[in-house]
Structure formats: structure tokens, C-alpha cells
Amino acid sequence: MASVRLARQLPSGDVPSRLATSKDAAELLDFLSDPSVHAPIYSLPKPLSHAALEAFIDDHLEQRARGEGLLFVRPDEASKIMGYSDIQIWPQWAAAELGGAIRPDKQGQGEGIKGAAASFTWMFETLGLDLICETAAVDNIRTAKLLDHLGFVRQGQIVSTSSDGTKRPSLVWEVSRQQWADTHGLEF
């Protein structure tokens, strides 16, 4: 997917996110070391370490080269990481999933909703997706409210497997390109 290989920034609110590089591993570890940030996210390496995050970033750079994934970090005014976005793409289905987190002091201020909406719109427009699928732990109320608010449709429940093999029940949402356009007054 050429659009994935050419991606350099992700709109995510007032400050765009940029592609993560291996130089970001230490700061990403600092950001993710807060359990309130990393605990709900099953796609992160476990245990978290500098080496594991370097490998995570390198894997995403390889995914980008194949057109199957992107990893972005979002800097704050002081250029410290305040959030990240992990896009997993299934080109054969023109579908993707967006995962990520924002620093706790930025939560509850509308940053997550604005950033997520901008990111989902960008994914449909730039990556040419037909469907975005999302999952969240059944007790992840914040993500559930965000996805419901943005017009995603609940599809049921599955069991998600983390990088260390642990399993957790997850709720599933989907939104099609047309549903997103209709809900948000867009034309693609």
C-alpha cells in the first residue's frame, strides 16, 4: 500500500503526530511506564523495556515498508511524547485498527476525541480504507465512550491475545467509510 509507505504525519488534534523512530524508544518507555497508560493496551510488548520498545518501533518500520502498519508519536510543546498511535492495516480487506494512548494529564479535556476523530478521518481519506475495526477491554469505559460517541457500531465480544500470550475479553466496534462520512458530514 503506497499510501502507508508515504505517510509521515498523522493529524491528531492541535499537534500532528510524527513517525516513530528507534531514537524515540527511551522517551516512549518513559511515557508508557505509567500503568494507567499502558495497562489497557494489549498490543504493547511485555515486559516494557528500552530494547523491547526499540524492537516494537523497528517492527512498525518494517510494517510500514510492507504497507501493513504505522507507529506515530505525538510531541507536546516541550517536544516530550504526550501520546502515540499504532495503526494496524489489513490491505486485503481495506481495513485497519487504531490503537494508542494519551498522557493522563491530557485526558478528559476533549483531546482524545478530537485526535481520534482527526486520525480516523485521515485513515479513511489517506489510506483509502473501507472499514475501521476497534477493540477494547470490556472494562475500558473511556475507550467505549469515545468509540460510541464517534459513531462506531458495537459488533460483540472476542478474546484478544497480547504479545506475551495472555488473553482478555474485548468488545469490538466497526465503522465503515460511508457510515463515518454520513455521521461526520464528510464526502470522500
Q: What is the pLDDT of residue 103?
A: 87
The closest alpha carbon to 40, from 107, 109, 125, 128, belongs to: 107
Smallest Cα–Cα separation from 119: which of 13, 1, 4, 31?
13
- pLDDT for 13: 65
Q: Which residue shows C-alpha cell 508515504?
A: 6
What span, in angstroms and rounded, lies between the C-alpha atoms of 70 and 20? 9
Q: What pLDDT is stored for residue 175 in this prediction? A: 98
**Which contiguous run of DSSP H or E holds residue 143?**
helix 141-149
Cell of 63: 510494517
Q: Splitting the chain (188 residues) into consecutive groups of 10 residues, what average pLDDT does each group show?
A: 92 83 96 89 91 97 97 90 95 96 79 86 97 94 94 96 86 98 94
* pTM metric for this prediction: 0.93
Exposed (0-12), middle (13-18) or buried (19+): which is 107, by Cβ within 10 Å? middle
2-132 maps to CATH 3.40.630.30: yes
